[in-house]
């Protein structure tokens, strides 16, 4: 009886460690960004990303002619159903793998676009250019509206951009590994 309890406790610790390992790969702000991206893609809100979710996400961004085999290829990158933990694992492999700098640059680019200070400087320029006078309350109301509008817009673009780049990088990885196999086979034939 005691041994069974110890095994269960040890097994639970191992399972907890394995699932929490992916969360230790990212900062809390990054996890929140991925959670928002996951929520945007999970169109039917069932907690999993499937082919219909991907198709709906692309459609909401104006891309209606996505082929089923392209969507299936994206889904095949996961080892099982894509819940939030699997979603993090997929990006964790890419972000901490050979394409770290590319995906990090994309993330940083969109992080700048999300920045309220960026909107603040743009709004200041517009106000100066058009010589508009706004009260402090009006100014911050306009700034808040602009910020909310563009954050939603950029998040949608970010999600698709990150998924497309991730897919392209995985395709490039597959091509390079198949090219390496072809080169090895041709070298073996020469020998």
Domain CATH number, residue 6: 1.10.238.10
* Residue 33 structural domain: 2-190
Both structure tokens of 60: 């909401």
pLDDT at residue 108, rounded to an integer: 61
The set of residues, in sequence order, having a beta carbon less than 8 Å from that of 73 and lying 6+ positions away, is 167, 171
pLDDT at residue 99, rounded to an integer: 55
Q: What is the helix (H) or strand (E) element at residue 36, kind and residue range?
A: helix 28-41
170 CA to centre of own chain: 14
pLDDT at residue 3, rounded to an integer: 44
pLDDT at residue 51, rounded to an integer: 92
Q: CA nearest 42: which of 28, 15, 60, 30? A: 60
Query: DSSP character for 150?
Result: H
pLDDT averaged per 10 residues, the chain (length 191)? 42 39 80 86 92 86 83 87 90 66 59 60 72 75 68 59 59 53 47 48
pTM above 0.85, yes or no: no
Give the span between the Cα atoms of 71 and 175, in whole angstroms: 18
Q: In total, how many domains does the chain have?
A: 1
What CA–CA distances, in Å, run from 191 to 153, 184, 187, 188? 57, 11, 6, 5
Q: Is 159 exposed, middle or buried (0-12, 13-18, 19+ CB in 10 A)?
A: buried
Which residue bears the tokens 């069932």?
46
pLDDT at residue 47, rounded to an integer: 95
Long-range contacts of 32-41 (CB under 8 A, 24+ apart): 33/107, 33/111, 34/84, 34/87, 34/88, 34/91, 35/84, 36/155, 37/155, 37/158, 37/159, 37/162, 38/84, 38/87, 40/155, 40/156, 40/159, 41/159, 41/163
């Amino acid at each position: 009886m005691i041994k069974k309890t110890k095994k269960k406790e040890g097994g639970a610790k191992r399972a907890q460690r394995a699932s929490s390992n992916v969360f230790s790969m990212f900062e809390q702000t990054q996890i929140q960004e991925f959670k928002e991206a996951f929520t945007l893609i999970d169109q039917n809100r069932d907690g999993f990303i499937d082919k219909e979710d991907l198709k709906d996400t692309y459609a909401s961004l104006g891309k209606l002619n996505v082929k089923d085999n392209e969507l299936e290829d994206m889904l095949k990158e996961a080892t099982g159903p894509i819940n939030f933990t699997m979603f993090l694992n997929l990006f964790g492999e890419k972000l901490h793998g050979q394409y770290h700098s590319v995906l990090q640059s994309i993330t940083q680019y969109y992080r700048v676009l999300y920045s309220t200070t960026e909107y603040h400087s743009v709004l200041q320029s517009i106000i100066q250019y058009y010589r508009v006078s706004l009260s402090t309350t009006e100014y911050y109301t306009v700034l808040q509206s602009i910020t909310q509008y563009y954050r939603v817009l950029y998040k949608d673009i970010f999600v698709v951009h990150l998924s497309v780049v991730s897919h392209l990088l995985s395709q490039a990885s597959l091509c390079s590994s198949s090219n390496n196999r072809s080169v090895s086979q041709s070298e073996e034939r020469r020998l």
